[in-house]
Structure 1
Amino acid sequence: MEKGKYPMVIAISAVSGGGKTTITSQLHAKLQKAKALYFDDYDFEGPDDIIKWIDSGGNPDEWKLLPLIRDLDILRNEPLDYILLDYPFAYKHSKISEFIDFTVFIDVPLDIAIVRRITRDFKNSSVKEILADMNNYVLRGRRGYLNMLQTIKPNSDIVVDGTLPILELVNIITRNVER
């Protein structure tokens, strides 16, 4: 990193189950002088009812992201080349967008994303719990996934095919970042 130059901040976005954490972790392992921050590691103050929030416009600025902003600000002053964000909003949150240099949207078919999410989150759950979650997805949750496709995907610098092998995705993102 050149003296006085901030690290490049790369935000990785996708629907739940889209591969944000996996790709961020793999990029972190590949890129030299990089740190990663993961949205799910924080306990943010945000909307109580996500679907109600989406139905009323889904403004990302309604999320209070001060701990993430603080950590980003600290990392920007470290001798890094990259800061990777596993982060759902791309450039849509006004306070975080000031930090972001490049956004990636991992485009995963919704059926694959929901299967990944169920597999990840319901390993020790009963069939009844899994079916209840699937029913909730059909009745309510799918709107959240569709909203991301309409708002975050077109707001990203690149869109990558989330059905590709992980290594291939990491290589595509790395090539685009290095340009």
Structure 2
Amino acid sequence: MNKGKHPIVIAIASVSGGGKTTIVSHLNSSLPNVKALFFDDYEFDGPDDFIEWMNNGCNPNEWNLSPLIKDLKTLLMEPLDYILLDFPYAYKHSKTSEYIDFAVFIDTPLDIAMARRVTRDFKDSSVKNILMDMNNYIRRGRIGYLNMLETIKPNSEFIVDGTLSISEIVNSITLKLKEKKRK
């Protein structure tokens, strides 16, 4: 148990469909004395025009993450060992970066991430909706995915292969955390 120390805050980042939520959920079950915050559980104020935001470089600081930061600050006061963040921006959002101790990027190939996302988000959708989403991805959405590979991935301390099994990814991250704790 954490005795008077602040919890280690671990940001798990990846592209949409890359495995953030799955890995955070599994780590949350396997690490001791841990709590998790999930990005998708929040409603954030962000850019009015998402496409324009992507075309202008996808600056994470254009998102007001106050609700997440408030919850993170509350958890930092608890006697935890770890706080897990399912968080796409890792260190790239200036108001959250000061709280993050360790950033992991799940490097999932874009075709696998896309297949996961379509499977997850379009279970009950028509073929027409799926095709519209695929066309949108080809025309515009891919920019955001590539931006993450260019900005978030290189700024993470640990990059894990997103094609590995869930247990292999969780084990790799757990081992890396044990190494970090020893230092």
Q: TM-score, normalised by structure 2?
A: 0.95
**Residues 71-123 of structure 1 deviation map (CA, whole Å, 9 limit, x = unaligned):** 01000011110000000001011110010000000001101100100000000
- SS of match in other structure, 1:44: coil
Range with bigger deviation, 54-63 or 79-88: 54-63
The ranges of structure 1 where at least 4 consecutive aligned residues each deviate by more than 4 angstroms after the TM superposition are none
1:128 corresponds to: 128
- SS of match in other structure, 2:9: strand
Q: Unaligned 5+ residue runs, structure 1?
A: none
2:150 corresponds to: 150
Q: Unaligned 5+ residue runs, structure 2?
A: none
Q: In the aligned structure 1, how far is the partner of 2:136 from the partner of 2:2?
A: 50
The residue type paired with residue 71 of structure 1 is D
Pairwise mapping of residues 83-162 of structure 1 onto structure 2 (< 5 A)? 83-162=83-162
Pairwise mapping of residues 1-179 of structure 1 onto structure 2 (< 5 A)? 1-179=1-179
Structure 2 contact 105–156 (Cα < 8 Å) conserved? yes
- What is the deviation of 1:8? 0.2
The residue type paired with residue 128 of structure 1 is K
**Residues 56-76 of structure 1 deviation map (CA, whole Å, 9 limit, x = unaligned):** 132211110111111010000
Say what the alpha-carbon RMSD is for the aligned residues. Answer: 0.9
Q: TM-score, normalised by structure 1?
A: 0.97
- What is the deviation of 1:2? 4.2
Structure 2 contact 4–79 (Cα < 8 Å) conserved? no
The residue type paired with residue 60 of structure 2 is P
Structure 1 contact 51–144 (Cα < 8 Å) conserved? no
- SS of match in other structure, 2:80: coil
Q: In the aligned structure 2, how far is the partner of 1:2 from the partner of 1:29?
A: 17
The residue type paired with residue 57 of structure 1 is G
Q: In the aligned structure 1, how far is the partner of 2:135 from the partner of 2:54?
A: 18
Range with bigger deviation, 59-68 or 33-42: 59-68
Structure 1 contact 36–84 (Cα < 8 Å) conserved? yes
- SS of match in other structure, 1:91: helix
Structure 1 contact 105–158 (Cα < 8 Å) conserved? yes
Q: In the aligned structure 2, how far is the partner of 1:126 from the partner of 1:176?
A: 42
Residue identity (%): 68
